[in-house]
Amino acid sequence: MTTVMEAPLEGLMSVAEQMKEIFPDDAVIFLRGNLAAGKTTLTKALAKVKGCSDEVTSPTFSIQQIYDNGLYHYDLYQCPNEKFMAMGLLESLEEPGWHLIEWGDEALENLLRMHGFYVAVVEITPKEGKRQYKVTTDA
């Protein structure tokens, strides 16, 4: 299923609310988009709708950040999938909650599906002053 949404910064919470209706409670969510597309900003909005009270930061200097209320945030920029596995992060993805992955590639996406994970992809495209969010889900 594919759902396309569009919002400026002020409309981001309603986008996040809509995504909450789409994603199951346990999901691996790939966030795709160029640098400054709005991946981390969306993660903050999703954290709010998930009732997460920790402050979400950009995980650039750590591969994984764990927040309260079942929110996990990964930045796989220059992290090969072999390293991801070697760090035991595949097991970590089994923890209940939302696992938001920035810079995860298609090979990882396919591997997760093969392992039976629910995978959703959000593609973010900048559009004059706002962003388009294209959500694709397995079911």
Residue among 40 and 137 whose Cβ is closer to Mg ion: 40
Q: Which residues bind Mg ion (CB under 5 A)?
A: 39-40, 58
Q: Which helix (H) or strand (E) covers residue 86, if one does?
A: helix 81-86
Instruction: Describe the strand order of the beta sheet including 71-75 as a list of residue ranges.
Output: 2-7, 130-137, 119-127, 27-32, 98-102, 71-75, 64-67
Q: Closest distance between Mg ion and the C-beta of residue 38, in Å?
A: 8
- Residue whose Cβ sits closest to Mg ion: 40
Q: Closest distance between Mg ion and the C-beta of residue 7, in Å?
A: 18
Q: Which residues bind ligand ADP (CB under 6 A)?
A: 7-9, 12, 33, 35-41, 129-131
Strand ranges in 16-105 using DSSP code E only, listed in sequence order: 27-32, 64-67, 71-75, 98-102
7 binds, among Mg ion, ligand ADP, none (CB under 5 to 8 A by kind): ligand ADP
Residue among 63 and 118 whose Cβ is closer to Mg ion: 63
Are 118 and 92 in contact by the 8 Å Cβ rule? The answer is no
Residue among 26 and 123 whose Cβ is closer to Mg ion: 123
Tokens of 96: 């209940």
